[in-house]
Each structure stands twice: as C-alpha cells, then as structure tokens.
Structure 1
C-alpha cells in the first residue's frame, strides 16, 4: 500500500502490504471538529469512478470497486449520523439498512450516537417498495425526505409503513439546503451521501457539499455509464482542494474539500 497524503494527515502503510486498520481509517476520514470557525453540519459524498469517468458498470457500482474501497465505504458509514441517498439508487442497488460495526461501537457510543447511521431516502414520487428490509427492519429507523406537494395518498402509505416522512421542499421535490437543515434539526450533523449521480449533482449545484471522497478505479469501461454527478451544470465550476490521497493496488482514494 502506498500513501501519498497531500495537505493533511494520511494513513501510513507501514512495512509490507498490511491492511489498514479501522482505527487508522477512522482517523484519516474523521469529520472536522465542530467549534469556532468550524462548519456544522458537514456533508460529504463517497463515490467511485473509473479512469474514463464511469460511476457504474451495467448499472452497479460494485464491479468497479475493490475490497479496500468497500472497507472505506464501511468506515465512512461508521463515522456518519445519516446516509443520504436517492430513491433511484435505492431501487437499482438494492439498498439495505446500515448495520452496526463492532469496530465503531465505542467511538459512536462515546459521541452519543446510535449503533448505526440512519438511511435518509430522497424521493419526490415516494414510489418505493416499503416491504424491503430498508423500511421493515432497520437497526435505526429509515427516513424519507420529500416535498410538501407530495401526493397525500403516497405520504399516507409511507407513514402506514412506519417510515418517518421529513418535508424538505415546498414543491414535489426536495430542496438540498433545506434537506441538510432538516437532518441537522433531527440531530444528524455528520452527513454522508452515496448518490446517486442525480442527487449528488443537485447537492453540488446547491452549494451544500463540503467534501468529496472519490475512489478512482484503475479500470476502463467505455459505454454510456453515468458520471458521479448528473443534472444541469453549475453556473461557475466549484473549486475543491485536495486533502489526502491514498493508493492501493492501483486504486486511488482521494479526499477533496471545498475551498
């Protein structure tokens, strides 16, 4: 494993090809401390992309991932209060509830957080299968963010399924800035989004994304796969700064924060 940390503390690789420990990963990916001059809530995204810009292969992110990428995925979830995800990603990726991770139990308890992050699904249509484990048997209750103009009968269906509806927009859809504020109001200040591309694009355009954790996969896929962010382009490109860069087996694990 190589470590090319830039502009911040990275994870040391030690001798040989040993696996990074959870403590090392938790330290490397720790959320900024809240306080004077600090930003809270803090929203980070975790995405993976091939060398030619594909965020998926045949509709899924798993084929372009790696074992270490999945450990970092678990680490980021272990540090977060809530995972914000788009409804289409829930449908395509077969999202399941976040599970408790033994390595983070003490850390989460000391910080006064539950055993696992809540999953917060963003949906305008509320067209989801509420018989899935994400809604029927989560360790921490799943949330559903929608707009005030969502169909009343669909809202009733969601609430009948025991899922908490959080209104975060005046129309059918969700306003990204309002969604962040609403989640913070529920005590979720360490936010993580795992996409999909349309949701990430909306968060970027609204200027509420604080950090991007991007895994660059040493693969080429061609085709017409989505990029990590979609939707309309922003008026002025957003500038982020490199915080750290780790490498293993050709995979690059980068962290960027907005300037």
Structure 2
C-alpha cells in the first residue's frame, strides 16, 4: 500500500494519488534539470554513509514517481557506489505509464566520474536496458576509458574539471531534455556553481543526525541561487518540498 501523502500547497488536498503527485512535479517544456535529495532537519545528507537511511515511505514513493517522468537519470559515480545502484530499470507500472505517453520503457542512466572509477562488469552496465552514458574529463585514465567504452558512451566534458553545462548540452543533443539527478553532494555543488540547476526536490526527514555527515551540496565556491517554492507535500513523518529557480 502506498504511503499517504497530503498536498499542503498549492491547492491543499488529502491523500493525493500518483497522478496528482506526478502533475505536481511535472517537468515544464524544454530542457530542464532537476536535483532530488533527502536531508535531516539539521542538514545531514546521509545516515551511516547512505542517503537511503534518511528517507521514509513517502520519500520512497515520490522518489520512484519522479524517475518515471525523466528522459535521463544523472548520478555521480561516488553516489552510485555508496548507494549500491544497479541497472536503471523501472518497475512495471512505471514502464506502462511511460509507454502510454510514447516514452521509452526506461530512462537513460548517465554517470559522472572524473577518475572513471567504475566497474564495467557491474549490473549498472551489464543489465542496462539502454546504453548508459559516462561523463568524464580528458585526463581520465586511458585503460579505464577503453574498458568502459565497451559498455557505455564515454564523453569528455572538460579537460581537468568537468563542465556541467557541457553535460547538459550533450544530453540535449541526444534528445534527453528532462534530466533528473540524484546527486551526490559534489555533483550538486558543481552544477549549482555553474548555474545548471533549474529545480530542487528536497525531502526533509524528521530526524536530527549530528555527526559529521556532509550537506547535500558541496563546492569550492559559494553560488547563491534564488529559488521559489513550487509545492509542499507532507508524508506521515516528512515534508516533500519542490523549488524552482526564480528566473527559470
């Protein structure tokens, strides 16, 4: 049974269904990049090293629904390893939803890795329903590049540092306009600093974590970015917040 979710703003409604949630988070026309994260009240991005430990049933419900709208799921390699990602395969109901709307059964999985520290024999690649993309830099090790090129498109988007806007441009050139990113903090920070983030979906978990967990966004430079509240939802023990960039 789905976790109960109420919409508090705009247009308050109790126990909204999946279609209403999807409409609340609908991508606008054109190219759009969304970040999706969970955080504790005191700002921790993880519990025991994983973000999955923070989110509850409502977070997991929205997490799965947001994926079904996307053309591509963008994730940093560190998050792929820490959260133990497998192949980017959606559940049967999500596949059916996409097919009715003329979309491919599954979104493309795009990974970001400057070092190419990824295992070409992992299920991320061997069980992929669509060929993944790996965004890297020109200085990445040649041997890893060659091994991964057998199972994914390996694309340079910078010489020593990855250019987030070059990543976006390449995705657009492939017709992958609706980008849903699941982090991690380094990727989020770099994309924010580059002005490449249009939307932020944040689950605020009802917990205090203390400890030394990182924030959801990290970069070498500050990049203040004004955001507007677009929606507020509530699960049993968490708030689900949608923000869009003020000038977007």
Contact 1:168 1:178 in 2 (8 A): yes
- 2:19 corresponds to: 23
Question: In the TM superposition, what is the alpha-carbon distance from 1:122 to its structure 2 partner?
Answer: 0.3
Q: Which residue of the partner structure matches residue 105 of structure 1?
A: 95
Q: Cα RMSD (Å) of the superposition? A: 1.6
After superposition, residues 177-256 of structure 1 pair within 5 angstroms as 177-235=165-223, 237-256=224-243
Question: What does 1:137-176 correspond to in 2, within 5 Å?
Answer: 137-160=127-150, 162-169=151-158, 171-176=159-164
The whole-number CA distance in structure 2 between the counterparts of 1:254 and 1:144 is: 29
Q: Is the 8 A contact 1:114 1:140 kept in 2?
A: no
Q: Where do residues 88-103 of structure 1 align in structure 2 (5 Å cutoff)?
A: 88-103=78-93
Report if aligned partners of 1:50, 1:216 keep a CA contact under 8 Å in 2: yes
Cα offset, 1:111, TM superposition? 4.1
Gaps of 5+ in 1: 15-19, 35-39
By how many angstroms is 1:155 displaced?
1.2
Q: Distance in 2 between matches of 1:137 and 1:3?
A: 37
3-state SS, counterpart of residue 134 of structure 1: helix
| 8 Å Cα contact 1:47-1:214 kept in structure 2 | yes
Distance 2:93 2:9 in 1: 24
Runs of 4+ that moved beyond 6 A: none
When normalised by structure 1's length, the TM-score is: 0.88
Deviation at 1:233, TM superposition (A): 3.2
**TM-score scaled by structure 2?**
0.92
1:234 deviates by 2.2
